Structure 1
Amino acid sequence: MPFLGFAARHTLKLNRFFSSSRIYNDLTPFTRRLFKLPSPPSSLSQHNDMTNFLSYAKHISLSETSTVYVGTHYEYTVQETLRRYALSLNRIGGRDDAGIDLVGTWHLPERERERALRVIVQCKALKTKVGPNIVRELEGSLRQAPVGWRTDQTVGVLVSPREATKGVRDTLARSAYPIFWMMIERDGSLKQALWNSRAEELGIGPLGVETRYGTAELGSVTKQIALTWDGCDIPSMDQVEHGLAEFEEQWVASWDLESQCDKERLLDTVESVLPGDISSRMLQEPLADADRAKVIQVLREQQQQPGPN
């Protein structure tokens, strides 16, 4: 199948839609190290989520009709919307962003941990129709991806408040890169989700789309779509982060060390003593007793060494 454009597979009725929520960015540096997740490029921006941006815009009296306000507000709207579907995204921006607005990881079911897809997002908050050239722009951004996103498990996502034109769909289908198109309105409603066969090759076969109806504040019926996995709702990034935190605690406790050990030092020792393939596999299967003994022995030796005078 050269191109997959999922319309409505199922129709569900909801009492309400998701509400906007603050972005917490709970993937700590330790969590990223443990699960081999890349750290986003540093940003000099004075805001990193919608709440901070609105406060900043008010502080500097930024006009709500300015291009900067409209574009940045839309980027944070996309960040919040996609977080509902297990995407952890950071806004980068700046002169050297290679055309990338958001960068992060997609923790789909069955690949919540170190197998999370790497994601690069371009937001096009345009009132006019967008042409096939934006697909080629995204391909250029994928070729210039930040360190940590230069992998064969990286997908590009184009987001716009308008539907994909035939020219865009055809260009997506022909692209050699795994690319998604998502129509997200300015209020955060997801209205369209398409992806090409290259994306399908990354093992996202269970990913689907459902049409859902809700009730707006004034009682009118509203319609949007939702991404699903094997017919079920995809856990939100809040749920994913909670699961990663629980696993992290269990992993540290599983070493059953006789005395308190800083988890950073524990991970340092694991990574230095065990080959990379073993330290990665330990998140999926029990560690061999011999390998565990090596790590614990090194930790004990470190504890016995006299500290600095």
Structure 2
Amino acid sequence: MTLHLPIYSVFRFNITPISRPQCRRPLHSFTRRLFKLPSPPPHPSSHHYDLPSFVAYANRTSLSAATTAYIGTHYEYTVQQTLRSSAFTLHRVGGRDDAGIDLVGTWHLPHREHPIRVIVQCKSLKTKLSPNLVRELEGTFHQSPVGWRTGDEVGVLVGPREATKGVRDALARSKYPLIWMMIERDGAMRQVLWNGRAEQLGLVGLGVEVRYSAEDADSSAKKVALIWDGEEMPHMDQVESEMSAVEERWLCSWGISSSGVERNKSELLDAVQRLFPEEKPLLSGTGTCSTLSDTDRAKVLQSLSSKEFAQYEEKEGTSHAST
């Protein structure tokens, strides 16, 4: 007898409609460094970065909505925008050398200091998705970009049709943590499934809430939304606002404002990460947002003072030499 790992999809019901706010521009590079978020690969296009900018670009260049390029790119950005409401921040990497990966990013689950890396494949197909697509997704784990090979990444397969029995069985058998999502081309999320390996990675609190709009009596019109421990998943806008507030507190604890000179902020972070590589502002809990002791902080300040003195000595030496 073959033992299959279970497929999970825990439901709750609600009649609140799902909103889909617009995407934002990527996080600042300093914020990514501070919170130890991986840097995404170069974007495949300089003309668009999210759904609204792509639609504007397509209109400006008369790109037909019937072309494969339009359909695929539009769907990838739609998935990016939809999942942002469930604390995903995703970056499009589709292109000639994408190794089959369409989106990469991080999933900022509640009460978890380190987000989960995610690798996403989008399959905007009219036909039923076959199990071989699950095997294709498994192959991307070995070809994911630098920063996404940490051992705690999740593969996400997204398509506009429900998962077939073959897809569900392939998910259950997989030794990789995988999630299946049915997201229609208009961004409506209809189905979410995940396997036992994903559960073991820390998705114990994950659930799915079924939502109906008040005017839709047809059960086929139901949408679903991800929840965590029975509560609504935070929108990525909320997560980024919290990160911004914690970043400001962290900088203020060193006597630097968030709007301070970029060089000062970067030099401080360089010193902290050189001496204490594990230091990262704490998003959860109350009180201090740093793990460093007073002694640790003194070492950082001493390092900065020594560097400033060395730079002063070098500058003075250069000045005397020129005279």
How does the TM-score come out when normalised to structure 1? 0.91
Query: 2:286 aligns to what?
Result: none
Tell me which amino acid in the other structure corresponds to 1:302.
K
Q: CA RMSD in A?
A: 2.1
Aligned equivalents of 1:165, 1:192: Cα separation in 2: 12
* Pairing partner for 2:9 from 6, 24, 29: 6
Aligned equivalents of 1:257, 1:13: Cα separation in 2: 46
Shift of residue 5, structure 1, vs aligned partner: 3.1
Structure 1 residues 153, 126: CA separation in 2 closer, same or farther (over 3 Å shift)?
same
Say whether the 8 Å CA contact 1:158–1:181 is kept in structure 2: yes
Query: 1:133 aligns to what?
Result: 132
Q: Deviations over 1:223-254 (max 9, x none)?
A: 21110000000100000000001111111111
Query: 1:35 aligns to what?
Result: 35
Query: 1:53 aligns to what?
Result: 54
Tell me which amino acid in the other structure corresponds to 2:37.
L
Shift of residue 210, structure 1, vs aligned partner: 1.0
Say whether the 8 Å CA contact 1:26–1:241 is kept in structure 2: no
Shift of residue 281, structure 1, vs aligned partner: 8.2
Query: 1:262 aligns to what?
Result: 264
Aligned equivalents of 1:78, 1:225: Cα separation in 2: 14
Structure 1 residues 80, 171: CA separation in 2 closer, same or farther (over 3 Å shift)?
same
Query: 1:99 aligns to what?
Result: 100
Say whether the 8 Å CA contact 2:280–2:290 is kept in structure 1: no
Shift of residue 256, structure 1, vs aligned partner: 3.3
Shift of residue 220, structure 1, vs aligned partner: 3.8
Aligned equivalents of 1:302, 1:224: Cα separation in 2: 57
Query: 2:222 aligns to what?
Result: 223
Written as runs of structure 1 = structure 2, the 5 A alignment for 1:74-113 is 74-111=75-112, 113=113
How does the TM-score come out when normalised to structure 2? 0.87
Query: 1:23 aligns to what?
Result: 23
Q: Equivalent residue of 2:86, what SS?
A: coil
Query: 2:273 aligns to what?
Result: 271
Query: 1:186 aligns to what?
Result: 185
Structure 1 residues 257, 290: CA separation in 2 closer, same or farther (over 3 Å shift)?
farther
Say whether the 8 Å CA contact 1:25–1:88 is kept in structure 2: no
Shift of residue 280, structure 1, vs aligned partner: 4.5
Structure 1 residues 85, 281: CA separation in 2 closer, same or farther (over 3 Å shift)?
closer
Shift of residue 282, structure 1, vs aligned partner: 7.3
Residues matched between the structures, number: 299
Aligned equivalents of 1:249, 1:257: Cα separation in 2: 9
Aligned equivalents of 1:208, 1:10: Cα separation in 2: 8
Shift of residue 74, structure 1, vs aligned partner: 0.8
Aligned equivalents of 2:223, 2:122: Cα separation in 1: 19
Tell me which amino acid in the other structure corresponds to 1:207.
L
Q: Equivalent residue of 1:143, what SS?
A: coil
* Pairing partner for 1:295 from 269, 287, 300: 300
Aligned equivalents of 1:212, 1:257: Cα separation in 2: 45
Aligned equivalents of 2:175, 2:200: Cα separation in 1: 11
Q: Equivalent residue of 1:105, what SS?
A: strand
Q: Give ranges in structure 1 of 5+ residues lacking alignment.
A: none
Shift of residue 201, structure 1, vs aligned partner: 0.7
Shift of residue 132, structure 1, vs aligned partner: 0.3
Shift of residue 288, structure 1, vs aligned partner: 1.5
Aligned equivalents of 1:282, 1:21: Cα separation in 2: 27
Q: Equivalent residue of 2:83, what SS?
A: helix
Instruction: Name the % identity.
Output: 54
